[in-house]
Each structure stands twice: as C-alpha cells, then as structure tokens.
Amino acid sequence: MLEPIRIMRVIALNPVAQIIEDIRHALVTEDPRVPWTSTLLGARIAFPLAVTVTVAVVGLAVFQRLAPRFSESL
C-alpha cells in the first residue's frame, strides 16, 4: 500500500496541483503538519517548473509563428 506522503509527492509533480495546494496552505491553514510543495518535493520541484517553462516557450513559439495568419482564419 502506498503511504500518503508518497502519494502526495506524485500528485505534487502536477504544476496545477502545486498552485492549488500552496494557495490553500497560504490562505486556509497555518498547520505546520501541512507541507508546502517545495518542502514536499525538495530538488524534484525542478521537474514541474521545467514542464511549465517548456510549455510556455513552445506556446509562445507557436503563437508567434501563427500570429500573422491568425486573423485570416477567423
């Protein structure tokens, strides 16, 4: 059976889950038993950050490539 901390580490790799959990932690609870995402993942936090940056860069490149012809397809 998986331990809850192992499940939390896998879920925390999702960038959206990180945002939601960290906002919840900041606004709802000050319980020290509820970890911040960076505390939970440690150095592995680089993976979701790299995914987010990669998606943003690819999206920007695609947008810049398609922007001149975008209005013609509307």
> Could you give the CA distance from residue 70 to residue 74 in angstroms, rounded to a whole number?
7
Q: What pLDDT was estimated at residue 12?
A: 74
What does the pLDDT look like over 5-44, one tens digit per residue?
A: 777 777 777 878 777 877 777 778 777 777 777 777 777 7
Confidence grade of residue 57 (pLDDT, cut at 50, 70, 90) = very high
Opening angle at CA 14, ends 7 and 45, nearest 5:
90
Q: What string of DSSP letters covers 21-61?
A: HHHHHHHT---TTS--HHHHHGGGGHHHHHHHHHHHHHHHH
56 pLDDT exceeds 70? Answer: yes
60 pLDDT exceeds 90? Answer: yes
Query: Largest alpha-carbon pair distance within the chain?
Result: 55
Residue appearing with tokens 């038993």:
33
